[in-house]
Amino acid sequence: MKVARREGLLITYALGSCIGITLYDPAIKLGGLLHIMLPTADHTRVDNIYKFADSGIQEMLRKMQAFGGVKSRYICKIAGGAKMFEMQGNLGNIGQRNSESVQNVLRQEQIRIVRQDIGANYARTMSLDVETGVVKVRSFGRPEITL
Amino acid sequence: MNSYDDMNSMEQDVIREVGSIGTGNAASALSSLLGTQVRMGLPVVSVLDYNAAMSAIGNPEAIVAAVMVGMKGDVSGIMLFILHPDLINEIIGILLGRNFEDYSQLTEMDISAVNEVGNIMISSYVNALSGLAGVDISLSVPEIAINMLGGIMSVPMAEFGYQTDKLMMIRGKFIIRDVELNSDLLMLPDIDSLNYLMKKLVQSNE
CA A54/CA A52 separation, integer angstroms: 6
Cβ–Cβ gap B145/A84 under 8 Å: yes
Judge: B143–A38 Cβ closer than 8 Å, yes or no. no
**Using CA atoms, how far apart are residues B22 and A112, in angstroms rounded to an integer?**
51
Helix (H, G, I), strand (E, B) or coil at B185: strand
- Closest partner residue to B151 (CB to CB) among A38, A86, A123 is A123
- H helices of chain B, in order, are 9-34, 50-57, 85-96, 108-133, 149-159, 191-205
What are the C-alpha distances in Å from B37 to residues B30, B175, B188?
9, 8, 29
Banded model confidence at residue A91, pLDDT cuts 50, 70, 90: low
Nearest chain B residue to A43 by CA distance is B162
Interchain contact A92–B (C-beta under 8 A):
yes
Of A101 and B97, the structure prediction assigns the larger pLDDT to: A101
Q: How far apart are the C-alpha atoms of B15 and B69, rounded to whole Å?
A: 19
**For chain A, what is the mean pLDDT?**
93
Cα–Cα distance measured from residue B16 to residue B32, given in angstroms and rounded to the nearest whole number: 24
- Indicate yes or no: CB of A92 within 8 angstroms of CB of B68: yes
Q: What is the total residue count of chain B?
A: 206
Q: Is A16 touching B (CB cutoff 8 A)?
A: yes
Please indicate if any CB of chain A lies within 8 Å of the CB of B149: yes
Coil/strand/helix, residue A95: helix
Among B185, B69, B67, B70, smallest CA distance to B115 is for: B67
Domain that holds residue A102: 2-146
How far apart CA A51 and CA A122 sit, in angstroms, is 20
Query: What residues of A are annotated to the active site?
Result: 18
Rounded Cα–Cα distance for residues B9 and B68 (Å): 28
Cβ distance B153 to A16 less than 8 Å, yes or no, reads yes
Q: Do A141 and B104 touch (CB under 8 A)?
A: yes
Burial class (CB in 10 A: 0-12, 13-18, 19+), B90: buried
Convert the pLDDT of each residue in B80-100 to its tens digit: 999 988 888 888 888 888 888
Q: For residue A143, give how far its alpha carbon lies from the nearest alpha carbon of chain B (Å).
A: 14
Orientation angle between helical segments B149-159 and A94-108, nearest 10 degrees: 80
Measured CA distances, A113 to A70, A82, B70 (Å): 16, 18, 35
Task: Look at residue A43 in the predicted model and tell me its pLDDT.
Answer: 66
Amino acid at A57: I
The β-bridge partners of B182 are B173
**pLDDT above 70 for A46:** no
The CATH number that domain B4-205 falls under is 3.40.1550.10
Q: Residue A33: give its domain's CATH number.
A: 3.30.1330.200
C-alpha span between A76 and B169 (Å, rounded): 37
Nearest to B162 among A16, A44, A139 (CB): A44
Please judge whether B158 and A37 are an interchain contact, meaning their C-beta atoms are less than 8 angstroms apart: yes
Q: Which residue from B141, B143, B150 is facing A13, i.e. has the nearest CB?
A: B150
B18-40 pLDDT, tens digit per residue, is 888 888 998 899 899 889 999 88
φ/ψ of A132, rounded to 5, equals -110, -15
Provide mean pLDDT across the span A79-107: 89
Each residue's pLDDT tens digit in chain B (206 positions)? 777 777 788 888 888 888 888 889 988 998 998 899 998 888 888 888 877 888 888 899 999 999 999 999 999 999 999 998 888 888 888 888 888 888 888 899 999 999 999 999 999 999 988 998 899 999 999 999 999 999 999 888 888 888 777 888 888 888 988 888 888 899 888 888 888 888 888 777 66
Could you say which of B141, B146, B161 has the minimum Cβ distance to residue A37? B161
In 10 A of CB B62, how many CB atoms?
Answer: 14
CB-based contact A14 B61, cutoff 8 Å: yes
Nearest to B61 among A47, A91, A125 (CB): A125
CA dist., res. B132 & res. B130, Å (int): 6
Q: Which residue of B has its CA nearest to A81?
A: B151
Q: Which residues of A touch B141 (CB under 8 A)?
A: 88
What is the distance between the alpha carbons of residues A9 and A90, in angstroms, rounded to a whole number?
35
Find, among B161, B165, B185, the residue nearest to B173 by Cα: B185
ipTM of the complex: 0.90
Q: Give the integer Cα–Cα distance in Å for B23 and B120.
A: 11
CA distance A109 to chain B (A): 25
For residue B147, with 0-12 CB atoms within 10 Å meaning exposed, 13-18 middle and 19 or more buried, which class applies? buried
Exposure string over B21-51, b if 16+ CB within 10 A, otherwise e? bbbebbbebbbebbeeebebeebebbbbebe
Contact of B121 with B79, CB cutoff 8 Å: no
Chain CA centroid to CA B192, Å: 20
Number of domains comprising chain A: 1
**Chain A nearest CA to B85, separation (Å):** 15
Sort out which chain B residues have CB atoms less than 8 A from A124's CB and list them: 151
What count of CB pairs under 8 Å joins A to B?
95
